[in-house]
Amino acid sequence: MSDLWKNVRVDFPILHQQVNGKPLVYLDNGATSQKPRAVIDALVRYYERDNSNVHRGLHALSMRATDAYEGARARVARFINAADPAEIIFTRGTTDSINLVARSWGHAHLKPGDVVLTTEIEHHSNLVPWQQAARASGATLKCVPVLGADAEGGLDLAALDQLLTPQVKLFAFTHISNTLGTINPVAEFCRRARAVGAVTVIDAAQSVGHAPFDVQALGADFVAFSGHKMCGPTGIGVLYGRRALLDQLAPDETGGGMVVNVTYEAATWKPAPERFEAGTPNVADAIALGVACDYLDALSRDQIAAHDAALAQLAMEKLSLLPGIRIIGPRAGAARSGLVSFAFEGVHAHDVVTFADEDGVALRGGHHCNQPLMRKLGLTSTTRASFYVYNTPEEIDALVASLRKILEFFGVA
């Protein structure tokens, strides 16, 4: 492990603590990432110096807050190579972003006979809103199947060919699976969807802070992600929408800040992004998200992707030596993001997580908001270790040592 990654740990105050008398080993980054000092400082600085409402005050603080808020929008646009900052809508997170598209776009465009396509490996956030949109409009929801008893084969591209008919009006898919670590060929998905005239929605919650991401190169229509999984604060997220699509879209929520002219009877809307940001926005968290973008780009997302994937491969190698383990998702050596999901014969994931916590190791156990996939794989839950910039090979040793103790306790080893 190079000094670069060791030094990164210094930037994250939360990591330097003991949990249950052991050094914290934080391996739950798929759920949320920790925050570097620069992001925490940006929040404090904003509330100590600049706090004000945006877009409506003519005084110094309001102008400072507005500049910083709009600066964050431009920064996020650069982070994903959006052509225009107006294509960046600040939301509460991935879930909120997908719901916005499902309601606004779904309401305007879906009708009986249409198909909404998603996949079998989506987080509930990229499944349930489409179920609702299909139900409300009379459209049909279909899912691209995943291949293999352990979902090791990725999505079935031959089935995708069959499913992607001209009836498909929208194709929503994840870039990286939060449960499997599968990396989907999203540029290819966008290309194929475009060929049948379908609009694309990419769930980038697990990818945008972990790997290079270029909305123009991908040709994506909508992209959703959360600040808190990429070193930013909770409560802030992004919906990227291609300008031409946003301009045709009606707002989902209405109120102050998004209107041009209001009478007692009616109102007219501002263009994007204001049209989709009714009410006082989450100014402080948006500004801190911009700082998180700076932080990640200074490390380089190419390097972050390589670092996370190397840790996942190392974890796979070491975990596969444990008795009774079933690793879910891509096989060792195949492309995989920085997370590993596994199950032990005879030990529930909640027990694994509870026992690991006694050793200071933070894991995730459960269905990972992926109940239909768990059911398909014949599992109730998996345990997941998910890595990020501050994790080290030594922490994988701590994980494996803790798991060995658990297996001994349950009489598996």
305: three-class secondary structure by DSSP: helix
Q: Name the helix (H) or strand (E) containing 288.
A: helix 283-299
User: C-beta of 4: minimal distance to ligand 7TS in Å?
Assistant: 26
Which of 115/121 has CB closer to ligand 7TS? 121
| Residue 359 within binding range of ligand 7TS, rule CB under 6 A | no
Provide the 8-state DSSP code for 176.
B
The one-letter amino acid code at 95 reads: T
30 binds ligand 7TS (CB under 6 A): yes
Active site residue 293: no
CB of 392 to ligand 7TS, least distance (A): 22
Q: In degrees to the nearest 10, what's the CA dihedral of 403, 406, 411, 412?
A: -20
- Kindly write down the DSSP assignment for every residue of 136-163, as one continuous string: HHT-EEEEE-B-STTSTT-B-HHHHHHH
Footprint of ligand 7TS on 282-341 (CB under 6 A):
none
**Tokens 């996370």, residue located:** 308
> How far apart are alpha carbons 292 and 227 in whole angstroms?
8
Spell out the alpha helix ranges (H) of 300-409: 301-319, 349-358, 371-377, 393-409
CB of 289 to ligand 7TS, least distance (A): 12
15 DSSP 8-state letter? G
* Residue 391 found at the interface with ligand 7TS (CB under 6 A): no
**DSSP annotation of 19:** E
Least distance between ligand 7TS and beta carbon 28 (Å): 8
Whole-number CA gyration radius for the chain: 22
Task: Give the Cα separation of 104 and 268 in Å (integer).
Answer: 16
Q: Is position 174 an interface residue for ligand 7TS (rule: CB under 6 A)?
A: yes
Judged by CB, which is closer to ligand 7TS: 124, or 326?
Answer: 124
Q: Applying CB under 6 A, which part among 38-46, 119-127, 130-138, 247-255 lies near ligand 7TS?
A: 119-127
Which lies closer to ligand 7TS via its Cβ, residue 227 or residue 360? 227
The vertex-192 CA angle with 190 and 196, nearest 5°, equals 110
AA identity, residue 122:
E
When the beta carbons of 65 and 304 are compared against ligand 7TS, the nearer one is 304
Total residues in contact with ligand 7TS, by rule CB under 6 A:
17
First-to-final CA distance of the chain: 30
User: Cβ of residue 207: shortest distance to ligand 7TS, in angstroms?
Assistant: 8
Nearer to ligand 7TS, 66 or 177 (CB): 177
If one asks whether residue 402 binds ligand 7TS (CB under 6 A), the answer comes out as no
**With binding defined as CB under 6 A, does residue 226 bind ligand 7TS?**
yes
By CB under 6 A, tell whether 75 contacts ligand 7TS: no
- Touching ligand 7TS, residues 197-216 (CB under 6 A): 203, 205-206
Residues 6 or more apart in contact with residue 408 via CB below 8 angstroms: none
Q: How many residues does the chain have?
A: 413
By CB under 6 A, residue 95 contacts ligand 7TS: yes
Say whether residue 125 binds ligand 7TS (CB under 6 A): yes
d(CA 142, CA 129): 13
For ligand 7TS, the closer CB: 123 or 336: 123
Q: Please report whether residue 36 would count as binding ligand 7TS according to CB under 6 A.
A: no
Task: Catalogue the active-site residues.
Answer: 369
Chain residues binding ligand 7TS by CB under 6 A are 30-31, 93-95, 123, 125-126, 174, 178, 203, 205-206, 226, 364, 368-369
